[in-house]
Every structure is written in C-alpha cells, then in structure tokens.
Structure 1
Amino acid sequence: MFVPRAPNPPLAAALTLLASGFVAGTTLLAKMLGTDTLGPALHPLQVSQGRFIFALMALSIGALVLRPKFANVAWRQHGLRVLFGWGGVTLMFAAAAFIPLSDATAISFLNPVIGMLLAIPLLGEKVGRVRLSAAAIALLGALILLRPTPAAFQPAALLALGAAISLACEIILIKRLSGREGPLQILLVNNMIGVGISSIAALAVWQMPNAAQWAALAGIGVLMAAAQTCFINAISRADASFVSPFWYATLIFAALYDALVFGVLPDTVSILGTAIIVTGAGLLAWREARIKA
C-alpha cells in the first residue's frame, strides 16, 4: 500500500524551484525547435511528442533500477491529467515559437494563481489572506514582466493563456493522484499515455529532425522528466495552493537563459518584476514555516 509523504513545505518549495528551472529549459529548447535556429522549424505537436517519448525513456531507465510495483492505478484521473498536461505543454511550445519567450512564459504562468483558486473548491484546501496576498504579489510581478504592449496581445498570446488554464487543471489532478499513488508510478503512467496521445496527434505534421533537433528533443524529454519528478515529490509534501506560486520562478530562469544563450540582458522592468515575484514566494514560504513551527 502507498504511504503518503510527510508534510515538508521547505523541501516542497526547493523541489518546485528546481523543477521550474528544468521547465524553463524545455521552453527554451522548444523555441529553438519551433523556429529555424536548429534547422527547419518543427510543428509544436511534434515537439510535444518528442517530449513524451524521451521523458518516458528516461523514466523507464529509473524504473529498471527501482522496479516499482503498479497498484491501484486511477486510469481515469491519469487520462484527464495527461490530456490537460499535453494540451498545456503543446500550447506553450506553440506560443514560444510565435511571441517572445518572456511574454509566453509570463502569460502561461498565470496558472499558479488559477491552480490555487481551483484548489479551494476541488481539493477543499483553505487559502487564507497571507496565501492570497502572496499569490497576488507574485501575479503583480508576472504582469509587470508581461509588459502589456500590442505585441503581447497578438492572437498567439491566447495560446499561452490556454496553456495556463490547462496546466492549472493538471496541477489539481496531480495533487489528487499524489495522495494515493507513488511518484514514479504517476510519472510512468502519465508518459505512457502521453506517448500514445501525442504520437497520434503528430502523425499529420511529423518530419524527420536533423541531429541537432534530435538532441534538443531528447533534452526536452529528459528535462521534463526531471521537472515532473521534482514537482510530484513537491506536491506530495505540501498543499497545491502553497506549491503553485513557486512556479513563478520559471520566469526568473527564462530571463537567465535568455541572457546566457542569446545575450539578452534583463532591463529595469524585468528586474522589478523578478524582485516582486521573489517577494511573493518568500512571504508564502515564511508564513508556512511559522505555521509548521
């Protein structure tokens, strides 16, 4: 029988921050694949397929070592979780190919606030004034980073908004699953189903990648598997409403990657937005530590 993890909010926060760094890396690679950076652009559906295939390969290696036993698999919830996750990731990859990476990331990462709000009626979690205030502060930072310009409100920006809604729904389903199944079981089932769904969806647009594109697809899969592992373990140790705001750190990592890879240095607005996001997440972590003390 699966024994739920003991609550550990500080560890959950650290794991979520680590996962956010991995997720930002997948978005960066997806943008390279969706443009002509590495060769002829690949369709977002094919990029999403590669993410599931290589993530499953990475997780299967871990399964061969750990040899987990599958028990009480909630296939319906897994199926719904995969549909929302696949849809959110595909929309995010598509948005990153058409609008600036910082804009796409900022819009899509409205999902922590959506996830926190959904956790109230769907998970029965209590969200007090401090949590709501911390989330509002982080949201303000995201809106500052969004820079509401005409370019940010292109039709492609709606793809990122759709990603935010889909990924918020996935957060709720992950939390439900994490209370009854082990992390590795959740990840293996998720990616097995995801390979099937994404492969069918990519059939009509699939094209042969070159060597660099294969490497980038593999990188997306491995990074996403690592991110999922961190996040599943995080959300099994704390409320979804506590973990969700830490996903805003992805915005920080995205700006860092832009500087390192493309030489794009953050301006005053980026620094301000990042500082506000860190303030919101820090307030939430401080409050949780006080409650648990």
Structure 2
Amino acid sequence: MNEQNFRLGAILMTATAFVFAMQDGISRHLAGEYNVYMVVMIRYWFFAAFVIAVAARRTGGIAAALRPRYPLLQIFRGVLLAAEICVMVTAFTILGLVESHAVFTCYPLLVAALSGPVLGEKVGWRRWTAIGIGFLGVLIILEPGFRVFAPAALIPLLAAFMFALYGLLTRYVARGDRASVSFFWTGISGAVVMTAVGLFHWEPMVPRDWAWMALLCCTAASAHWLMIKALEVAEASAIQPFAYLQLVFATALGMTVFGETLETNVAIGAVIVVAAGLFTLWRARVKAAD
C-alpha cells in the first residue's frame, strides 16, 4: 500500500467517523421525540434502497446477492445489527452521546476476546493483557462502588457486545460471500425486521423533524459509502485507528449541542480503552505480517 493510498484512506475513514457521529446526534434528537423503533425503521428503509442500488452495480447484480453461501448467518447478522442500533440509540437518549460512546469504544476489545471462540483464532497473552486493561478503563468510566450504579450504563456495553459479534460474523461469512453480498443482506434483513416491529410504534412527525429524518437517512447512506471507499483504497488494519475519532466527534457534539459534560473519570477511562484497542489492532497487524 503506497503513501498516497494510505493518506486517502485515512481521510475517508476520518470523514466516515465524522458522518457517523452526526448520524448519532440526529438519532439522539429524533429518538428523544419519537419511538426508537420507528426512527430506526425509517432509517432502514432508506438504507435498504441504498444497498439494493449498490448490489445492482456489482458483478452479477441483485441475483448474485440473493444467493449467499451462508443465508441463515447473513439474515442473523442483519437482524443483530438492527437490534444493536436500537439498543445504542436508546443509550443515547438515556445516557447521552458522551458516556454512551465512551463505553461503546470497547467493542474492538470484545472482537479480540471473542475471536477465539467464534473464529478459532489464537489470542496471545499480550492481547489478553490489553483486553484486561481496556475493561479496567470501562470500569473507570462506570465507577461501580463510587456512586449508585445505574443499570442503564450497561446498555452501551450490550450494544458493544452485539456490534462485536456482528463484526466477527461478518468476518466469518467473508470466507464464502463477497462484501457486497454481506452489505446487501445487512440492509435487507434489518429493514424487514425493523418494519415488522416499527410499524406498530408509528407516531405522527412534525415537518421539521421529517427534515431531520431525511438528513439522518442521508448520513446513514453516505457514511457507509465513505467506509466502503476507504476500505477500497487502503488496508483496513492501517486505517481502522481513525475510526476512533468518532468518539471525539460524538463527544464534541454531545457537549456543544446537547449540553452534556465530560466527567474526568469518563475521559480517563476512554483514553485507556482507546489505547488498549489501538494496541490490539497493532498486535493483530503484526501477527498477520508474520
């Protein structure tokens, strides 16, 4: 990978992190006014249209996307991601963007921890140590024992676990299905399950919020498009660290727009979690190069 490709990949991944943070901010606003399931459902309608358009332009078109090697796993992945989004958006409305993202940032550590039982990969003592240190950072964020522990603080942790499992299953199905096929089933499965749930929670929306909803749909599609382009020009392991900027962008948005505060323990814990996550990414890259 040449320097130019890395630079472009880093720029695209940074833009991806920024758009995803904006998407989370809009989701926080809309879910504070309307039912979470309805908000996620409408977002998925647009997302499904986007993945159909992407699949149609790939070799074999939609017909090829409809014949995955792992159909049940592909459906489960899509449903799992839709459920994770509902859980995380709920966390935004209860805990805010700052604390939710600080806890959610541990998901790469969960990927490393679960890669053994799910994918059969070997996790060495260095990465296990980083995983342990990272979860110490999560405990610093949550502060159990120093204040009345709020069970709601476990919501973004559950979302992180679900997203980590989704990521591992994505790597598993990649052994037999192209990325475009997996992307197609992510959108279609999620749209089907969210429609089945969301229609029962429909609420009338004022015109101003329909504009926000349209912007939410655009950010969802553009963020995934940017991520696809980033991974096309650069290696995932090289540019993945830039995805952590979503925590920075979301924190800034939470503080400036929603009036949230960055507590000292949250800042310290987040730094520890990110450092541990970056170490696990580096170790994974070293192992891959051996």
Structure 1 CA distance for aligned equivalents of residues 177 and 235 of structure 2: 13
Kindly indicate whether residue 43 of structure 2 is the aligned counterpart of residue 51 of structure 1: yes
Compared CA separation, residues 91 and 232, structure 1 to 2 (3 A): farther
Please report how far the alpha carbon of residue 51 of structure 1 lies from its aligned counterpart in structure 2 after TM superposition: 2.1
Q: Contact conserved, 2:130 with 2:276, CA < 8 A, in 1? A: yes
* Structure 1 residue matching 2:176: 3-state secondary structure: coil
Which residue of structure 1 lines up, in the alignment, with residue 252 of structure 2? 256
Which residue of structure 2 lines up, in the alignment, with residue 28 of structure 1? 25
Which residue of structure 1 lines up, in the alignment, with residue 3 of structure 2? none
Unaligned runs of 5+ in 1: 1-9, 36-40
Q: Contact conserved, 1:112 with 1:244, CA < 8 A, in 2? A: no
Kindly indicate whether residue 160 of structure 2 is the aligned counterpart of residue 164 of structure 1: yes
Which residue of structure 2 lines up, in the alignment, with residue 119 of structure 1? 115
Aligned length: 275
* Structure 2 residue matching 1:156: 3-state secondary structure: helix
Kindly indicate whether residue 94 of structure 2 is the aligned counterpart of residue 98 of structure 1: yes
Compared CA separation, residues 257 and 231, structure 1 to 2 (3 A): farther
For the aligned residue pairs, the C-alpha RMSD in angstroms reads: 3.7
Identity of aligned residues (%): 24
Structure 1 CA distance for aligned equivalents of residues 267 and 97 of structure 2: 16
Unaligned runs of 5+ in 2: 1-5
Q: Contact conserved, 1:138 with 1:276, CA < 8 A, in 2? A: yes
Counterpart amino acid of 2:205? P
Q: TM-score w.r.t. structure 2 length?
A: 0.76
Structure 1 CA distance for aligned equivalents of residues 88 and 20 of structure 2: 11
Q: TM-score w.r.t. structure 1 length?
A: 0.75
Compared CA separation, residues 113 and 276, structure 1 to 2 (3 A): closer
- Structure 1, 216-225 or 170-179: larger mean CA deviation: 216-225
Kindly indicate whether residue 184 of structure 2 is the aligned counterpart of residue 192 of structure 1: no
Structure 2 CA distance for aligned equivalents of residues 67 and 212 of structure 1: 40
Q: Contact conserved, 2:134 with 2:273, CA < 8 A, in 1? A: yes
Which residue of structure 2 lines up, in the alignment, with residue 280 of structure 1? 276
Q: Contact conserved, 2:105 with 2:274, CA < 8 A, in 1? A: no
Q: Contact conserved, 1:246 with 1:281, CA < 8 A, in 2? A: no
Structure 2 CA distance for aligned equivalents of residues 178 and 158 of structure 1: 30
Structure-to-structure mapping, 1:104-143, within 5 angstroms? 104-143=100-139
Q: Contact conserved, 1:34 with 1:43, CA < 8 A, in 2? A: yes
Kindly indicate whether residue 175 of structure 2 is the aligned counterpart of residue 179 of structure 1: yes
Compared CA separation, residues 284 and 159, structure 1 to 2 (3 A): closer
Q: Contact conserved, 2:74 with 2:186, CA < 8 A, in 1? A: yes
Counterpart amino acid of 1:114? L
Q: Contact conserved, 1:44 with 1:93, CA < 8 A, in 2? A: yes
Structure 2 CA distance for aligned equivalents of residues 200 and 238 of structure 1: 34
Q: Contact conserved, 2:81 with 2:163, CA < 8 A, in 1? A: yes
Kindly indicate whether residue 197 of structure 2 is the aligned counterpart of residue 214 of structure 1: no
Q: Contact conserved, 1:145 with 1:270, CA < 8 A, in 2? A: yes
Please report how far the alpha carbon of residue 261 of structure 1 lies from its aligned counterpart in structure 2 after TM superposition: 3.0
Counterpart amino acid of 1:99? L
Please report how far the alpha carbon of residue 176 of structure 1 lies from its aligned counterpart in structure 2 after TM superposition: 1.4
Compared CA separation, residues 125 and 234, structure 1 to 2 (3 A): farther
